């Protein structure tokens, strides 16, 4: 029997360009998404929502973002534009995690953002637990209001991340991790 924390101890991201078919089928995806939204949620605000990008919709999204980036930066190189266009092509599934912020709530905005961030992290953990690989990315489109409009986001919504999910096409070596003593201290009065 493996250690109860082995999923956390072995968690790592797989670069989106190294994620291919197969992705989760419809039933597995539903189960993954249901598990991912089980996060701390002060005030039961549900300060998140998910947008699933698959197949032709994923390609169309990349095309629209590339058109937007060229309009904003007309001197962009062809290779940069192509990178923007194909950024969502590799993994069979991309889940956009969106924070829905209620600035009027008694719950601080940072807590609402962290709740949405937990959804993204749960997607990473859940994908790995199911035998898939995943990577949480942002990039310029996560912070651009015109890109947000392409996704249908409202003014109070923002992208937490694009979580790319698929089957790892290569073995990804683990990266060096922080040394515990360098990040942990004990407070004393």
Provide the whole-model pTM: 0.95
Whether the CB-CB separation of 114 and 48 falls below 8 Å is answered with no
Query: CA 76, CA 137: separation in Å to the nearest integer?
Result: 22
Whether the CB-CB separation of 49 and 120 falls below 8 Å is answered with no
Domains and CATH numbers, the chain: 12-170 (3.40.109.10)
Residues 6+ apart with CB under 8 A from 123: 32, 33, 36, 95, 97, 134, 136, 163, 165
List the chain pLDDT tens, one digit each, 189 residues: 689 999 999 999 999 999 999 999 999 999 999 999 999 999 999 999 999 999 999 999 999 999 999 998 889 898 988 888 999 999 999 999 999 999 999 999 999 999 999 999 999 999 999 999 999 999 999 999 999 999 999 999 999 999 999 999 999 988 999 999 999 999 999
Q: How far is CA 172 from CA 29, 135, 136, in A?
A: 23, 12, 15
């Amino acid at each position: 029997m493996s250690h109860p924390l082995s999923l956390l101890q072995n968690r790592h991201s797989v670069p989106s360009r190294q994620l291919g078919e197969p992705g989760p089928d419809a039933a597995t995806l539903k189960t993954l998404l249901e598990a991912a939204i089980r996060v701390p949620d002060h005030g039961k605000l549900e300060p998140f929502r998910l947008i699933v990008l698959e197949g032709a919709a994923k390609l169309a999204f990349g095309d629209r973002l590339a058109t937007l980036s060229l309009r904003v930066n007309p001197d962009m190189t062809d290779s940069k534009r192509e990178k923007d266009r194909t950024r969502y092509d590799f993994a069979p599934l991309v889940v956009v995690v969106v924070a829905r912020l209620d600035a009027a709530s008694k719950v601080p905005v940072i807590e609402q953002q962290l709740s949405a961030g937990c959804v993204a992290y749960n997607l990473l953990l859940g994908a790995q637990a199911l035998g898939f690989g995943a990577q949480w990315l942002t990039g310029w489109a996560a912070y651009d209001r015109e890109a947000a409009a392409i996704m249908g986001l409202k003014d109070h919504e923002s992208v937490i991340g694009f979580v790319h999910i698929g089957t790892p096409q290569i073995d990804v070596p683990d990266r060096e991790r922080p040394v515990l003593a360098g990040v942990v201290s004990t407070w004393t009065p």
